[in-house]
Structure 1
């Protein structure tokens, strides 16, 4: 039986009978009366014994059937005399007996129905709630039934087929449900009523979304000629890699589509990234991104420089500044007769936040093939307080390569004389992944006692875009009467200076606003320290800071 729901959809309703074995146990369909012996008159009752249905009497082997009397079984009271009887609510819970006499043989016959059951006046319209995505939980809502059922049972269906074990009011979507239609049968039960089931509208299930638990990671030495490997990371639920993309900086590397990648000369000086595509049944494919590597180092030259050590000594402090001696051990792969002319190197110095606070230059003029290059990193910047890391070492060298050639007698008199030496220029560059560290106490500029009418710069903000540096600040003067610092009025004048090799030189001049605010922007040098200096009586002030 099918009826329309208020929303215009179609509700499938089934009155459970003995033929609906998948939904209920037991038979509710009236079977014919036991037949009499072949040739003897008999009477059978046909119809489903539910309130509102009609039962009919059917004769066998009787040429002149008599009138049929319908009664409640065991009751002498007649309900009706007719060939059929429509069941009433008063018949619920009883059995119905039909009796008559076959006139031509004067044989009384009868038949009895199964117990009469009621039918629900209103059949619920079940519906499904929840997110229809693999991995999510769906809930079956029973809808409204009249009278109110005493119990419900459920059967979930995938594309019209029963789902094994899915017989509760909730169902968690599985990978097999992706891109399928899910419905649920709701079966209502109440004593003296025919069990009835209704089917919900279908929901279409979308594939689930993989959740990253840990990101992919690249392992291996970042040097030309070495092989890098990327892991797939971990996912929930578990997923397997289906593809790889390697990138040089931000450019896809053609042909690099496996879990490993061997670095080439084109990667020198670049960073490497990897993307891992993963998937599993019932879920949308996902991509994991491995963090980029450090800068790829060049190949190890057979006649190049090997950096054997990088160390930083304990800083020394003076006048609010720190000096850190740094040394680099090296060895040149050449013959013992060779010698170097120059060897220089430079390394980045970064604070605990990873921000650059400058560079340190290292130099060696020792002609030996094994030696030490030294240098000192100096800083007065407060950003350089704490643990400093010295890394990203690069350098170059020049020298003379000498080799001895032994004569080959087979080449006759034109051969090179025996034990003859020849020389050639020896030059090249080198890099190292070695690091060193030093701990610098908090740097504080020297404190000058505050005097009446003295001034200072406060609230300095500094920020940098590539080599462009901007400083914003305010000039204040100490007011002894109110015992606090107040803004210098009238637009004080300031000069920005830089110090290189111990000498201060002018960079630019700026003037503060009437409210004493100023802003200075300039192209900063990695090797310079800067300060702002007042140049008139209103601004007897100086503030130093590094790039």
Structure 2
């Protein structure tokens, strides 16, 4: 507020002539704000007038010389102080008049923006990008600063004009605060409208998993081929860069025997990954399962609102309740297999031994294993008889035949642990 305080001379502490009584007057016009121009005026003087400007610490104290002239531009050093003038007749300096002491001088206020309304584009879904437009600001700012908000609270590190929605945003609303800056102007901010509540992203899935059974013939270990087919929704990525999934491996006793990891680097949203798992002798023959699948994928997605094309990183998780099953069986061999004859009587003998991967040796298959004798008839085999092994794995099968033929001994396998096989013999 500008105050006019009395008709006090605007003089310094030194002596000065008294103001002349009569019709003389001195006034100041203008706005008492730093940077503004004040104009001196007078009346009653016969000749030209000389104006001297004074600054006062308050509205009643004597003043200190500032300058001479018909106008004066207020500076920041006068902030909070008061101003006066003395008008003097140039022909007779003893004829003078002081103005009121006016003030206080206020600090200059920077011009302000007419803010624009920021806008946010994109789908409110975890993993999706949001891009922005600052809106129309007047005048055009020199620069913008950005701050993304989650339910009106700042998101740490989210200070660019785009944002990829994170898992922490699920169930919340997002908005963007834009702050504009320009030399000579006070910074100003405006905030966009909030997005819809952020939803979860569709999950990538494993469409199938499989494992190939294996027969161990030597050594302690045998590889099991494992495959997994995947599908990533096109709504969360345009292309992939890497996938990785792992599964827990368990033996026939359901004990964990390891973990298998499959990776892929294809860019297509669907495909198949493959690897091998090394089964070793101490892992128990029989059933092997691959379950509890989980993993991650990374890729990219392109977003193009209002002719603005941007590519953003994309990522997500993969889970599956599917189970792949394989069987690890050991090889069985026939030893001393032969057919003997006595008239029309035929007798086939052999010893069946199975490989033991843990000890890397061979042992009899044991008592009660069924062995089938088959005869070749044309292009197929016909059953002749069956026999069972003894404790040492030996078998002896007898049948009648009128002439020689080609026979084979067939081992049907023993469930989950021993592989099926056969051996051809003449008799």
TM-score range, shorter chain: 0.3 to 0.5
TM-score (norm 2): 0.40
